[in-house]
Structure 1
Amino acid sequence: MTPHTQTKPMPVNRNALIRYRTIDQCLQNRFKKWTLDDLIKACSDAIYEYQGIDTGVSRRTVQADMEMMRSNKLGYEAPIVVVDKKYYTYSDKNYSITNSPLNQQDMQVLSEVSDLLKQFKGFNHFTDLNEMVSKLEDKIYSQKTQSTPVIDFEKNDNLKGLEWIEVIRKAIVAKKAICITYQSFKAREASTFCFSGYLLKEYRNRWFVLGRSHARNAPLLTLALDRIQTIEEHPDAYRENTTLDLATYYNDCIGVTKSPGQRDCEVVFWIDAANAPYVVTKPLHHTQKLLSEDVSGKIFSIRVIPNFELERELLGFGPKMRVLGPRILVKQIKAQFLKTLDNYDKDSIAPFTLTLNETMKENDATSVSKSSL
């Protein structure tokens, strides 16, 4: 008898995976209405970027891709719907194929990738891989054993703007200008402008893009992705970066707030003995140096550009830290603490206290009425 051989599912080819991911990213972007022609163009652009294939993607291929995504063959069951008989979108605005459970084939690929990456752990040139490998191994473990993860990495599920990361990254790589509609927290209304992006930057789980507006004499801009409303292609020629060393641009600051030509300075601060170990084990900046110490605490210095993020970092330590220099920074930090004390003054918070008391009374009354049912 011929032994029975179990047939394995046909692996999804790379081009198809690129198209699925591209369609998924498009349909997650609800600021744009996606026609079939729009999706075809997006898939063709993605295949050209990643594979160098310029033959385009056919109408039939994209339609078949969406049917495959709708089905359970890949485990997606994507809720793709057609609106007004023309526009494609997800009926569930929070859906993404990236949230789908991993299938057997995915697990095998991830295990192989994890085994490969583990070979580089411990090498100085690949220190950034350590966290990535740990995340990957934890994902594989929890999926295989159907148990809860044993590592809880910092994340923000409600973070806005993540859908723009890949759009901007592609524009930077392809050196294409984009049209951005943007509204900062201080602006009363949004503005639209042409923009050439240079660098994507993450800080405290928020994403930013460094680049230049095409307006005349426009300064260098750092835009928060969560304030971007729309991004579209723009016919203007991309404006190259010819002056900045992007690899080191943010090395002299904490956060993302800085301007070209801004000078750094030595910031000196004291921190009490009980909290000094936290600063030793997690330095405020890579330039941090220990200057002196005694039983009361330690004095450190960092060399950075004074900015909003630096002040917020120092203020976060409260009475456990004292800034010693430069003089202008000491003055600013002191002013911030005095303003904080004013917020706790009885007269200044009286209206807030009154409103809070009224709210608490309403809550108590609601609780009583519910308990009597």
Structure 2
Amino acid sequence: MANSKHAHLRYNILDEYFRKRAYSFEDLLIALNAALEIHYPNESISVRTLREDLKVFRDNINGFAAPLPEKARILKYSDSSFTIADKPLLDYEQYLIDAAQQLLQRFENHPKYDRLSEALLKFQEEEQKQKNDNINILFYDHNDEYKGIQLLKPIYHAINNKTVLTITYKGFKDKEVTTYTFHPHVLKEYNNRWFVFGFNDTKNIQNWSIPLDERLIDFTKNNDVIYVESNTDWHLFFNSMVGIVKPLNAIKERVVLRFYNGREEYFKTKPFHSGYDLFFEKDKKNQVWFDTIINRELVQQILSYGQDVQVLEPEILLIQVAQQIKSMNNLYNS
């Protein structure tokens, strides 16, 4: 029987390897252990465990029935479009999921259960689709092209294990790849994308952010550098602004917005700044205010309300929004 510890992680890693390139058994064992090291430091699997994993992949009855040739010296899917993500759950996987669902339901009255409940609904929806001819009940915002979610777990483990990373990065407008030493501290989700914040050791910059997408080409564990802890109060850091970009030496300013056509009610149900407040004066009932740093994400959120919002304060924000509107107008009247 295969080693059950981190089996699901191994299966996902192997699935990705078999789709992308060919490995010898020895090279595969080395690559797999290197990947596991990021999640489980100082742990590795044996030759026997890898052989058992390969049996699970090839098993047509109790496994994934993967197109992995039995006697080939090179390990690679003969059909590169195959992925175990499209296969039904194995029996013991279904058992573990059912057990986890029952355990989570014990926390139904816990203040944090809402997020657990949403996760359960998403999973149950996928199970019902398989049983009922792919009929959807729930529809979520989801970008199939977003690859950052695959980086989330290894980065999370790097933070949890206080692991220094060597980052290989290339921005969309960059001509060359950049490599630097990075101490990951926290992960932040914004606009359905994930970002990791930490200390850029190479540039000596705190609170450096890296998007988890195609720009993050690669990262490896750096054992030659001692991990540097963060002194940042991340709750205050993120509450000081909309989004994830904090301009250098930026300070918080009072922002006052006036809404039209009843749009202030929509803002209240999903505010882009959680620290907003209302005015007591009757003639200001359609206005809100909050203290925040002025950045690009704030301007974008304001513009999303179109003609139904007006910036009253501060003047610097009013000017930035007006400039954006003027530039947009020029696109359609040039």
TM-score normalized by the length of structure 1: 0.76
Kept in 2, the 8 Å contact 1:272–1:296? The answer is no
CA distance in 1, matches of 2:80, 2:299: 37
Q: CA deviation at 1:318?
A: 1.0
* Structure 1 pair 295–219 and aligned structure 2 pair: CA distance change class (3 A): closer
Q: CA deviation at 1:297?
A: 7.0
Aligned residues: 332
Unpaired runs of 5+ residues, structure 2, are none
Kept in 2, the 8 Å contact 1:271–1:299? The answer is yes
Q: 1:136 aligns with which of 116, 123, 139?
A: 123
Work out which structure has the larger RCO, using CA pairs closer than 8 Å and 6 or more positions apart in sequence. Answer: 2
* Structure 1 pair 164–259 and aligned structure 2 pair: CA distance change class (3 A): same
State the Cα deviation string for residues 223-250 of structure 1 (Å, max 9, x = none): 1111111222323324322311235532
For 2:45, the equivalent position in structure 1 comes to 57
Unpaired runs of 5+ residues, structure 1, are 1-9, 349-373
* Structure 1 pair 27–197 and aligned structure 2 pair: CA distance change class (3 A): farther
CA distance in 2, matches of 1:92, 1:287: 52
For 2:251, the equivalent position in structure 1 comes to 263
Q: CA deviation at 1:190?
A: 1.8
1:218 aligns with 2:209: no
Q: CA deviation at 1:128?
A: 2.6
CA distance in 2, matches of 1:200, 1:344: 39
Percent of paired sites with the same residue: 27
1:329 aligns with 2:317: yes
* Structure 1 pair 185–273 and aligned structure 2 pair: CA distance change class (3 A): same
For 1:340, the equivalent position in structure 2 comes to 328
The 5-angstrom pairing of residues 38-187 of structure 1 reads 39-41=28-30, 43-44=32-33, 54=43, 56-80=44-68, 88-90=75-77, 95-187=82-174
For 2:276, the equivalent position in structure 1 comes to 288
Kept in 1, the 8 Å contact 2:258–2:309? The answer is yes
State the Cα deviation string for residues 192-247 of structure 1 (Å, max 9, x = none): 22222111222122121112222153343111111111222323324322311235
* Structure 1 pair 339–47 and aligned structure 2 pair: CA distance change class (3 A): closer
* Structure 1 pair 258–27 and aligned structure 2 pair: CA distance change class (3 A): farther
Larger radius of gyration: 1
The residue identity in structure 1 corresponding to 2:273 is H
The 5-angstrom pairing of residues 293-332 of structure 1 reads 298-332=286-320
CA distance in 2, matches of 1:219, 1:89: 42
Structure 1 consecutive aligned stretches of length 4 or more whose deviation exceeds 6 Å: 45-53, 293-297
CA distance in 2, matches of 1:296, 1:284: 20
Which secondary structure does the structure 2 equivalent of 1:211 belong to? Answer: strand
* Structure 1 pair 92–210 and aligned structure 2 pair: CA distance change class (3 A): farther
